[in-house]
Amino acid sequence: MNPKKFTIITLIATSGLVALIALTATSRASSNGQKEVTFTRDVVPIFYKNCAACHRPDDLAPFSVLTYEDARPWARSIKEKVVSREMPPWHADPRYGDFINDARLSRRDIDTVAAWVDQGAKEGDPRDLPPLPDYAAGWNIGKPDQILSMTREYVIEPDAPDNYVYFTLPVRFSEDKWIQAAEIRPGNKRVVHHAIAHILTPRARARAGEDIDETDGEPDSGSSIFYKSRSLSRVLTFAPVIDDGASAPNGGSAFKRRSGHEDADGFSILLTSFAPGKAPDIYAEGTAKKIPAGSVIVLQIHYSSFRGALEKPERDRTSLGLIFAKEPPRKRVVSLTIPNHYFKIPAGSANHRVSASYTFDQDAELINYMPHMHLRGKDMKYEALYPDDRRETLLWVPRFNFNWQTLYRLREPVAIPKGTKIIVTAHFDNSSKNKYNPDPTRDVRWGDPTYDEMMIGWMDYALPESSK
Ligand code: HEC
């Protein structure tokens, strides 16, 4: 059946202003009486909004949804992944927390995509196609005010082992800079496993010399439980074992805890990170992260040849994009790491519980969460235990997936009174049933390499800019 289409174009000219209004009245029906669903009119707006951040040329995902030609061959798979809610990737239980970047499609959008595929994945009228969104040359934060790139290319050989490499970016800020948004663009997504940008303040530089460490402070006891081989840090096999870090004196962290202003103790400050699927850091109006005057920025990049999956050497030159706050902020952002460094996951264990905690010694507002584990990570929960003993679930990720290091950005900040304890609880699957498990026969402890584990509840919180 041929679709009928009536297009009324009205030209209105008002005092030199010319507006073109196109009214499209459509009445279409497919043979079974259902409304006809087309790519150009009904489906592509859903794809632009919910898929194109990854599914566009030269980005993360295996195909582009921007054109009918590119998307059509994937129609069957698209329906399957959309109906099962595997795509877009989102792993938080919707009962807890309200997140501004909640990627879940509405029921209506899922039905539209499914109906499109069921009806034969038709293109429709090319004139219905909405304009292509402006992706500002690949930056998800919009056009950066400043772009900082590695000064040289780094080459990864096909058989190279996992490696953490540090690059100091070519900038030294002569005045305080307030960051409204920050994003790392990997130069080569085949080898950049993840990347973290640290702010090294003058005090942090003086303290650390050139010895830059990813970890969040200096060892608590003076005797480090870590050792390094080829810049990869791992926990010593004979270090004490504490799985229930939440009940331990330091919450399971091997480092002195800083509170409030991260620079207060002279350590480096987390600026932003990249991992597959992670949203860039964008702060609400009036809230920003400070780069103190005299700071330099160091990129830590985890390069991986993904166990020999490369055919030829690959080159990388990764960049950092920054958007500065237009006005001095009312609140400043502090990044907090809630880790358990002492766990030990027994070989073969299918549901090993590990916890960590942090107690706030001042009022704060939580603004985002980012659970981090490696391949054996199964689930993670963030809870707040308030001073009045009320216990509230903040975030519950029931099926953690290492491939997706999701940043959960809260729509409204969560107020945390002084004395609140944040408890992070994770489970690990070190059994052979876990298809990602590199080795179920090994006891596993903390370490940088992907074949070791990590357990970190990351979060950002905000403090009034006047507080120290
Ligand atoms: C945050 C990035 C991201 C978003 C958003 C996203 N995808 Fe994906 N998608 C990926 C990546 C990466 C893969 C390949 C790895 C995987 O399958 O997990 C993938 C895989 C897929 C596949 C399977 C391809 C195959 O190899 O069989 C389909 C189908 C798909 N996505 C459809 C969609 C649709 C439709 C949307 C929007 C409604 C969407 N995706 C949103 C990143 C994304």
DSSP states of 410-436: EEEEEEE-TT-EEEEEEEE--STT-TT
Regarding predicted confidence, which is higher, 109 or 309?
Answer: 109
pLDDT given for residue 367 in this prediction: 94
Residue 123, phi then psi, degrees to nearest 5: -75, -50
Question: Looking at residue 461, what is its pLDDT?
Answer: 93
Overall average pLDDT of the 180-189 stretch: 92
Higher per-residue pLDDT: 361 or 164: 361
CA distances (Å), origin 313, targets 153, 172, 230, 386: 12, 32, 20, 52
Reduced to 3 DSSP states, what percent helix, strand and coil does the chain have, rounded to the nearest 5?
15, 35, 50
88 lines ligand 1 (CB under 6 A): yes
List C-alpha distances in Å: 175 to 186, 293, 331. 27, 4, 18
- For the Cβ of 56 lying below 6 angstroms from any atom of ligand 1, the answer is no
Q: Ligand 1 center to residue 219 CA distance, Å?
A: 41
Buried b vs exposed e over 229-253: b needs ≥16 C-beta within 10 Å?
eeebbbbeeebeebbbbbebebbbb
Residue 465 CA, ligand 1 centroid: distance in Å? 40
Domain boundaries, the chain: 30-133, 136-218+256-329, 223-254+331-468
Burial group, residue 457, by CB count within 10 angstroms (0-12, 13-18, 19+): buried
Q: Which residue, by CA, sits nearest to atom 20 of ligand 1? A: 61
77 Cβ inside 6 Å of ligand 1: yes
**Is 60 touching ligand 1 by the criterion CB < 6 Å?**
yes
List the CATH code of the domain at 136-218+256-329.
Answer: 2.60.120.230
Q: Which CATH number fits domain 223-254+331-468: 3.40.640.10, 2.60.120.230, 3.10.20.10, 3.30.160.160?
A: 2.60.120.230
**Alpha-helix residue ranges (DSSP H) falling in 39-160:** 44-50, 68-71, 75-83, 107-118
What are the pLDDT digits (tens) for 371-390? 999 999 999 999 999 999 99
What is the distance in A from the centroid of ligand 1 to the CA of 319? 24
Tell me if 136-218+256-329 shares its fold with 223-254+331-468.
yes
The answer to whether residue 287 scores a pLDDT higher than 90 is yes
Per-residue confidence band for 336, with pLDDT thresholds at 50, 70 and 90? confident
Average pLDDT across the chain, whole number: 84
pLDDT tens profile 67-114: 999 999 999 999 999 999 999 999 999 999 999 989 999 999 999 999
Q: Give me the pLDDT at residue 305, please.
A: 73
Is residue 447 in contact with ligand 1, taking CB distance under 6 Å?
no
In this structure, which residue's CA is closest to atom 13 in ligand 1?
61
DSSP notation for 217-263: SSBSSSS-SEEEETTEEEE-TTSPP-SBGGGSTTTT-SBPPP-SSGG
CA 4 centroid distance within chain: 45
Q: How many CB atoms lie within 10 A of CB 41?
A: 19
